[in-house]
């Protein structure tokens, strides 16, 4: 059995790496794809199945499991002073349409490994410990991402999220009710002392530098946009080229501009068009309307603002030259986040005392921790993923790195339990 122990709290207090890996493989069955990944979109039948598994497994470890009005799940292990606000850990169990087994999932199941370690050793922390499964972190079915940790942190209102609709027109609130996970506790009325999140890096740095642990200092800024290009449907065989109002051709030029804008702020900035809908999408019709999304990110908020200014200047010019109209709306603005220095130091100290190679790192992707950092001391832990690949069915990590990440999470939680005075 792969096991790390925390000597200062007894030789039997350590992470069971085999049990953690078994959990990762077991939960991959819910929404598993033929290519070895997972399609587990939020508020689907597969999401309900993994949530039910989460409840059963946590209750078997002596935890009480509840869920709030946004469907966020909380598995609570009592502390010596159960009146103290809990130290929280967690991530998410929903995935991309072609997601892997570890993005978000490692954070929840690594947190479960922490609860298992405490349960098996009989060690009782001063604070209660709560493991959280956040609803709709990915934002792949309902946008924007990190939606329900956002409600928890006061970034979004409950009603605006309940009224969100997916691309098929289904309402978030109705789908939450349908899977049976709309709770009575208003989202956000749940006290916390601190928050720690374990995650795969989703990038290539740790692997390239042969580091086991990433000590995450913050999250880069991001803005998302929805763009609709409107031209005119026309017959592909009888409409002369100079007389066309081709929405897809104009959109293609705009998409190339998104890439050029990001490249102009290299090497840190990134720009992505990841979703496109072409209408009427017929092979002998000049496209009359195109919808696409834009994702712009950089660690410096000023750079993100400059990229937005460039988009708002250049894309309308392309529309005018192409004989089409453009409607572009910013749908998400997530400023850069800097995590709590004390929590960062706890993660670093945990990595050092465990003997893992580590380095400080900034997260490119967004995480629920970014919103939690607005309301409570927060930090994150990264472990490497093969080739930096994520949001892909081929996403891959090692059992040893998963165990190491959970070990550092356990040690950081124990340090927070000793350090924070929550009265």
Section 316-328 average pLDDT: 98
Tens digit of each residue's pLDDT (9 = 90 or more) over 222-279: 999 999 999 999 999 999 999 999 999 999 999 999 999 999 999 999 999 999 999 9
Mean pLDDT of 89-103: 97
Nearest to 124 by CA among 65, 75, 81, 74: 81
Question: Is the link from the previous residue into 270 a cis peptide, with omega within 30 of 0?
Answer: no
Q: Which residues face 359 on adjacent strands?
A: 214
The residue length of the chain stands at 423
4 vs 421: which has the higher pLDDT: 421
Residue 10 has pLDDT above 70, yes or no: no
pLDDT category of residue 421 using cuts at 50, 70 and 90: confident
**pLDDT exceeds 60 at position 3:** no
> Which residues 6+ apart lie within 8 Å of 289 measured at CB?
228, 229, 230, 231, 247, 278, 279
Structure tokens at 384: 């490497």
Q: Is the pLDDT of residue 7 over 80?
A: no
Beta 194-200 vs 87-92: how paired, if at all? parallel
Tell me what pLDDT residue 326 has. Answer: 98
Distance CA 72, CA 195 (A): 15
Q: What is the pLDDT of residue 364?
A: 83
Asked if the model's pLDDT at residue 282 lies above 60, the reply is yes
pLDDT of residue 199: 98
| Ramachandran angles phi, psi of 293, nearest 5° | -110, 155
Give the pLDDT of residue 422: 58
Q: Quick one: CA dihedral 380, 381, 385, 388, positive or negative? A: positive
Is residue 304 within 8 Å of 222, Cβ to Cβ?
Answer: yes
Residue 79 above 90 pLDDT?
yes
* Relative orientation angle of helices 341-354 and 399-419, to the nearest 10 degrees: 130
Maximum separation of any 2 CA atoms in the chain, in Å: 80
Mean pLDDT of 123-128: 97
% of the chain exceeding 70 in pLDDT? 97
| Two structure tokens written together for 273 | 């068009």
- In three-state form (DSSP H/G/I as H, E/B as E, the rest C), the secondary structure along the chain is CCEEECHHHCCCCEEEHHHHHHHHHHHCCCCECCCCCECCCCCCHHHHHHHHHHHHHHHHCCCEEEEECCCCEEEEECCCCCCCCCEEEEEECCCCCCECCCCCHHHHHHHHHHHHHHHHHCCCCCCCEEEEEECCCCCCCCCCCCHHHHHHCCCCCHHHHHCCECCCCCEHHHHHHHCCCCCCECCCCCCCCEEEEEEECCCCHHHHCCCCEEEEEEECEEEEEEEEEECCCEECCCCCHHHCCCHHHHHHHHHHHHHHHHHCCCCCCEEECCCEEEECCCCCEECCEEEEEEEEEECCHHHHHHHHHHHHHHHHHHHHHHCCEEEEEEEEEECCEECCHHHHHHHHHHHHHHCCCEEEEEECCCCHHHHHCCCCCEEEEEECCHHHCCCCCCCCCCHHHHHHHHHHHHHHHHHHHHHCCCC
Query: Residue range 205-215: average pLDDT?
Result: 97
Cα(258)–Cα(250) distance, integer angstroms: 13
Residues 6+ apart with CB under 8 A from 47: 31, 40, 41, 93, 94, 179
pLDDT band with cut points at 50, 70 and 90 for residue 5: very low
Confidence (pLDDT) at 2? 34
Mean pLDDT across the chain: 95
d(CA 80, CA 125): 6
Cβ-contact 153, 372 below 8 angstroms: yes
Does the pLDDT at position 43 exceed 90? yes
Q: Is the pLDDT of residue 4 over 90?
A: no
The pLDDT, as a whole number, for residue 366 is: 86
CA–CA separation, 134 and 148 (whole Å)? 7
| pLDDT exceeds 70 at position 16 | yes
What pLDDT digit, counting tens, does each position of 381-400 carry? Answer: 999 999 999 999 999 999 99
pLDDT tens, residue by residue, 47-60: 999 999 999 999 99
The pLDDT value recorded for residue 156 is 95
Lowest mean per-residue pLDDT among 3-12, 300-309, 356-365: 3-12
């Amino acid at each position: 059995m792969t096991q790390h122990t925390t000597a200062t709290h007894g030789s039997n207090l350590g992470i069971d790496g085999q049990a953690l890996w078994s959990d990762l493989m077991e939960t991959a069955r819910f929404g598993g794809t033929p290519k070895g990944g997972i399609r587990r979109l939020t508020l689907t039948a597969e999401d309900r199945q993994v949530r039910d598994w989460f409840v059963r497994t946590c209750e078997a470890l002596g935890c009480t499991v509840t869920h709030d009005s946004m469907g966020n799940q909380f598995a609570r292990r009592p502390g010596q002073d159960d009146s103290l606000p809990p130290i929280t850990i967690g991530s998410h169990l929903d995935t991309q349409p072609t997601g892997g087994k570890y993005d978000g999932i490692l954070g929840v199941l690594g947190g479960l490994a922490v609860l298992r370690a405490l349960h098996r050793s009989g060690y009782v922390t001063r604070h209660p410990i709560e493991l959280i499964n956040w609803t709709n972190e990915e934002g792949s079915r309902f946008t924007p991402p990190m939606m329900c940790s956002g409600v928890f942190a006061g970034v979004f209102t409950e009603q605006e999220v309940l009224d969100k609709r997916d691309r098929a027109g289904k309402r978030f609130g109705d789908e939450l009710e349908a899977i049976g996970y709309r709770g009575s506790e208003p989202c956000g009325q749940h006290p916390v002392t601190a928050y720690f999140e374990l995650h795969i890096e989703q990038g290539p740095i740790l692997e390239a530098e042969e580091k086991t642990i990433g000590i995450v200092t913050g999250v880069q800024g991001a803005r998302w946009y929805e763009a609709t290009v409107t031209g005119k449907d026309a017959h592909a065989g009888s409409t002369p080229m100079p007389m066309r109002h081709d929405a897809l051709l104009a959109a293609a030029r705009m998409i190339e501009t998104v890439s050029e804008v990001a490249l102009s702020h290299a090497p840190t900035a990134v720009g992505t068009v990841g979703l496109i809908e072409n209408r009427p999408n017929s092979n002998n019709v000049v496209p009359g309307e195109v919808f696409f999304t834009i994702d712009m990110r950089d660690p410096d908020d000023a750079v993100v603002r400059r990229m937005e200014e460039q988009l708002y200047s250049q894309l309308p010019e392309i529309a005018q030259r192409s004989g089409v109209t453009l409607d572009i709306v910013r749908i998400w603005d997530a400023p850069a986040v800097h995590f709590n220095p004390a929590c960062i130091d706890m993660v670093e100290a945990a990595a050092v005392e465990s003997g893992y190679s580590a380095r400080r790192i900034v997260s490119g992707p967004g995480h629920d921790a970014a919103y939690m950092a607005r309301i409570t001391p927060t930090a994150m832990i990264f472990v490497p993923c093969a080739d930096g690949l994520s949001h892909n069915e081929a996403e891959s990590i090692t059992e040893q790195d998963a165990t190491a990440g959970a070990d550092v999470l356990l040690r950081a939680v124990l340090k927070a339990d000793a350090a924070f005075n929550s009265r």
